[in-house]
Chain A
């Protein structure tokens, strides 16, 4: 049986090496999809280290928010930005090995983590949450709304600025934009939509040569 402390230390170093290695891969890999996958691994390994430090809430938030939402979005964006079409089509097979490697390392990390938890690891330092007799999440919430209330509010302000800036920089009132007016659509009459045009019967040979007039299409019986 391995000493729980030692096992925890080994796990920490293993996670640390994976984190740093994956972070290096993010900036060295030429293929941007590979880089994003490596970033997912970086986040996941960091979450594992946080779990070792008994910061459960942060670890879960990192996985749910960053790995689950932000990175998936990122992956979509990177894949959409890829200019070469043939690369995108054969993408699945090409990215599969890297994806499997990332998933495997994650799995090993998770198993190791479960092992650490099972061995009743000794806390690394003074844990204020444990001292207060609360769960990590409850303690974080309490601290956020009492001691760190002002920073919390400032963070909300920063988000507001983000919204204002996003609207100011992207909302364009373009004159040539095609937009729908709901009220006009509701008040429309059948007369406005369908226009009956009387025209002479055409010779079959000449129909293809004649250019179509815009707007006449729906008027044809």
Chain B
């Protein structure tokens, strides 16, 4: 029977659920012009949740609700960064939403519900919790993508996302049912022991393949990436920045829980599958991104290639590799919020600022914004001394350690190819003349400007002193800090 201790372990999650319901009620009784209060309350709610995750909990690993929920360092770090990314998203999103009559309470509550899904997903100790956490996250995301009802592009993106997401969930469930059939347990901890001597190894492998397809869909790696460009481009940018950041941490958490906590015994089988997915993602992501003219679409293809790099860390299948992959997921979440943040800061009512040509001559109009975008682009490209460079170095190192030198070489080659399209954005900003008739103005929102500057400068700061963050990531997987 669940007892009070169980609830204590889930305190941040329970708190967020209660807060989300209260915000929902508050929104119903609030006048539209008071909605600014809801905005700040939502941010406060998330910050308190960060505090509860960090400080409100005893140290060490704990399980609750018969092993359904696992709280360990991995989950804590992922939760903290998912919450912080969502705070950034809320700050960046407000002016954009207000300009487009999308500044509604549902944006905040749905995003908070999605974050609850992320928190449950990265803490899952059972296949059932993995699936339900994922559904909570994705269902909220579908609704967020469709939030702009008057835009046909947005509706199209939502339908594509919904259909493909449902298909992916079906694949994942099918794989889970096969794994259950082969081992007779849904608990990830019991799976870890049972998978090695299952009576039906072929059935288990069959299930594993379907589960990897499901994970691939959620990470957005090739060849399961078809939804990413359309959804990134079609969704309101304020929603794209959310989908591109915190859920990536969740996808890493899900892959870690399913593949390591659950099916770690089958590492020799899934290592090669992930390696193939990684190579395909690196190739498709980087090569197709070169021909894009829409910045949101370009960043979508860049996501595909970045998830390929994340897989390089997972391919290692050891604590070093997981630490590298988690470091990569965190770095990607921060970089992508910064890049989309600049788009949000330049967008106005009736002007999306999402074509690369819209950025022509940004340096003459707003040198600071151009500089922040430069930091984000260089970091995404992996130019030293920025954050992205070190994250890439770690995952390439992890691939070499796993005796997959060829994979590391492929990763390095595609990093150089990828440099082209990131640098093209920088070139357009600094060396091209501003377009006639395009009026580039930065949003006047003070919190947006400050947070965006902080976010982008953090990429530089963390690129110079990555030690503490890497130390946390390594310690989470039981490694002594380097």
Is A213 part of the binding interface, using a Cβ–Cβ cutoff of 8 Å?
no
| Contacting pair A169 B135 (CB below 8 A) | no
| Contacting pair B109 A164 (CB below 8 A) | yes
Q: Which residues of B contact A164 (CB under 8 A)?
A: 24, 106, 109-110, 113, 143
| Contacting pair B129 A165 (CB below 8 A) | no
What range describes how many residues of A lie at the interface?
10 to 19
Q: Which residues of A contact B133 (CB under 8 A)?
A: 154
User: Which among B10, B106, B142 has the greatest number of chain A C-beta atoms within 10 A?
Assistant: B106
Interface residues in B32-72 by Cβ distance below 8 A to A read 64-66, 68-69
Known: A151-B132, A161-B113, A167-B106. A146 touches B140 (CB 8 A): no
Is A132 part of the binding interface, using a Cβ–Cβ cutoff of 8 Å?
no
Q: Which residues of A contact B129 (CB under 8 A)?
A: 150-151, 154
Is B128 part of the binding interface, using a Cβ–Cβ cutoff of 8 Å?
yes
Say whether chain B's binding surface is mostly helix, strand, loop, or mixed: helix
Known: A146-B2, A149-B2, A161-B136. A168 touches B128 (CB 8 A): no
Q: When chains A and B are docked, how far (Å) is the Cα of A148 from the Cα of B128? A: 9
Known: A157-B116, A165-B139. A151 touches B68 (CB 8 A): yes
| Nearest CB in chain B: distance from A131 CB, A | 15
Interface residues in B105-160 by Cβ distance below 8 A to A read 106, 109-110, 113, 116, 120, 126, 128-129, 132-133, 135-136, 139-140, 142-143, 146-147, 149
User: Which among B24, B104, B132, B142 has the greatest number of chain A C-beta atoms within 10 A?
Assistant: B132
Q: When chains A and B are docked, how far (Å) is the Cα of A52 from the Cα of B146? A: 43
Q: When chains A and B are docked, how far (Å) is the Cα of A157 from the Cα of B14? A: 11
| Contacting pair B104 A150 (CB below 8 A) | no
Interface mask (A155-177 → B, CB under 8 Å = 1, otherwise 0) = 10110111011011100100000
Q: Of the candidates B17, B113, B149, which one forms a contact with A169 in the assembled complex, judged by CB atoms under 8 Å apart?
A: B149
Q: When chains A and B are docked, how far (Å) is the Cα of A149 from the Cα of B142? A: 26
Is B1 part of the binding interface, using a Cβ–Cβ cutoff of 8 Å?
yes
Q: When chains A and B are docked, how far (Å) is the Cα of A157 from the Cα of B133? A: 10
| Nearest CB in chain B: distance from A61 CB, A | 18
Is A147 part of the binding interface, using a Cβ–Cβ cutoff of 8 Å?
yes
Q: When chains A and B are docked, how far (Å) is the Cα of A148 from the Cα of B24? A: 27
Q: Which residues of B contact A169 (CB under 8 A)?
A: 143, 146-147, 149
Q: When chains A and B are docked, how far (Å) is the Cα of A169 from the Cα of B110? A: 12
| Contacting pair B104 A168 (CB below 8 A) | yes
| Contacting pair B132 A154 (CB below 8 A) | yes
User: Which among A146, A147, A148, A158 has the greatest number of chain B C-beta atoms within 10 A?
Assistant: A158
Known: A150-B129, A154-B120. A165 touches B110 (CB 8 A): yes
| Nearest CB in chain A: distance from B33 CB, A | 15
| Contacting pair B136 A150 (CB below 8 A) | no
| Nearest CB in chain B: distance from A157 CB, A | 6
| Nearest CB in chain B: distance from A103 CB, A | 29
| Contacting pair B106 A161 (CB below 8 A) | no
| Contacting pair B149 A157 (CB below 8 A) | no
| Contacting pair A150 B143 (CB below 8 A) | no
| Nearest CB in chain A: distance from B456 CB, A | 31
| Nearest CB in chain B: distance from A42 CB, A | 15
| Contacting pair A165 B140 (CB below 8 A) | yes
| Nearest CB in chain B: distance from A126 CB, A | 10
Q: Of the candidates A146, A158, A160, A167, which one forms a contact with B132 in the assembled complex, judged by CB atoms under 8 Å apart?
A: A158
| Nearest CB in chain A: distance from B70 CB, A | 11
Question: Closest chain A residue to B140 by CB distance?
Answer: A161
Q: When chains A and B are docked, how far (Å) is the Cα of A165 from the Cα of B149? A: 12
| Contacting pair B136 A154 (CB below 8 A) | yes
Q: Of the candidates A146, A148, A157, A167, which one forms a contact with B136 in the assembled complex, judged by CB atoms under 8 Å apart?
A: A157
Can you spell out 16 A-B residue pairs with CB atoms less than 8 angstroms apart?
A149-B2, A150-B65, A150-B69, A150-B129, A154-B132, A155-B132, A157-B113, A158-B136, A158-B139, A160-B21, A160-B113, A164-B106, A165-B106, A168-B110, A168-B147, A169-B143
Residues of B within 8 A of A (CB): 1-2, 10, 17, 21, 24, 64-66, 68-69, 104, 106, 109-110, 113, 116, 120, 126, 128-129, 132-133, 135-136, 139-140, 142-143, 146-147, 149
Residues of A within 8 A of B (CB): 146-151, 154-155, 157-158, 160-162, 164-165, 167-169, 172
